[in-house]
């Protein structure tokens, strides 16, 4: 089955790279969804609600506005994601500044955290009422992350590179942060921001085959 236009409702370069490297050419369409409006204490629900909010916002925008890269907005697959790190019972998104990143690393070194990523996939072909009330799937993937006993000098040097400031969890697994992750239990692309095997499963559940992305 021909796959509709794939839209990534995210500004995340990490998510874009994951899709590109997997051979999935996505139209990048970051959402303007206000994440601050959602306050929830349960990590699993929080990332799913946020991912759905981002995907819905973009799906609605595309159904109401033309887009140069999207010939038919009623034939799109829109993916929204949201990632947080749960550690010591606290939910963390991206650090607000270097000071917070240092403080978080001082607490998380030597410990085990859980990286939650919510995934919301909307098929706009099934738009029932002129809105983005289309067929959608919302899932969460969790990966355990074992952090190394890093020194304060290593923390300061790592934060000074700027890498952790763009990452929920204050580390980039495939970057310098990988030096400070002893091991993970579960999907590694989920840690980076988008679980590729989960995306394959969601596409399959919607009746699509990832192999169709590679057909010319
Ligand atoms: N490169 C990399 N980025 C990571 C890693 N872990 C988390 N991140 C990034 C991916 C996301 O860009 C960010 C999680 O924050 P959000 O889920 O709120 O997404 P973000 O605000 O970046 O973009 P979006 O809301 O999707 O437009 O953290 C990692 O291991 N490697």
Structure tokens at 106: 């001082």
What confidence tens digit (pLDDT) does each residue in 91-133 have?
A: 999 999 999 999 999 999 999 999 999 999 999 987 555 554 5
Q: How high does pLDDT run on average in the chain?
A: 94
Q: ipTM score of the complex?
A: 0.97
Which pLDDT belongs to residue 216? 62
Pocket of ligand 1 (CB under 6 A): 10-12, 14, 30, 54, 81-83, 93-94, 167-169, 171-174, 191-193
Residue of 33, 193, 195 with the most ligand 1 atoms within 8 Å of its CB, for mutation: 193
Share of the chain above pLDDT 70, in %: 95
The set of catalytic residues is 82
pTM for the full model?
0.95
Mean pLDDT within 149-163: 98
CA 8 / ligand 1 centre spacing (Å): 13
CA 129 / ligand 1 centre spacing (Å): 32
């Amino acid at each position: 089955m021909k796959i509709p236009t794939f839209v990534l409702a995210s500004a995340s370069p990490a998510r874009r790279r994951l899709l590109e490297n997997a051979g999935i050419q996505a139209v990048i369409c970051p959402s303007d969804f206000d994440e601050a409006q959602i306050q929830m204490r349960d990590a699993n629900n929080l990332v799913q609600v946020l991912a759905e909010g981002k995907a819905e916002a973009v799906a609605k925008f595309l159904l109401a506005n033309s887009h140069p890269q999207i010939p038919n907005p009623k034939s799109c697959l829109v993916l929204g994601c949201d990632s947080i790190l749960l550690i010591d019972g606290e939910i963390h998104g991206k650090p607000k500044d270097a000071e917070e990143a240092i403080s978080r690393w001082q607490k998380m070194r030597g410990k085990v955290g859980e990286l939650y990523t919510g995934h919301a996939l909307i098929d706009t072909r099934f738009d029932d009422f002129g809105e983005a009330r289309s067929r959608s799937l919302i899932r969460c993937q969790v990966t355990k992350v074992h952090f190394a006993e890093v020194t304060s000098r290593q923390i300061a040097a790592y934060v000074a590179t700027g890498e952790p400031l763009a990452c929920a969890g204050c580390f980039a697994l495939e970057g310098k942060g990988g030096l400070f992750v002893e091991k993970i239990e579960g999907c590694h692309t989920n840690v980076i921001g988008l679980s590729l095997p989960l995306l394959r499963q969601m596409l399959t559940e919607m009746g699509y085959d990832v192999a169709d992305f590679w057909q010319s």
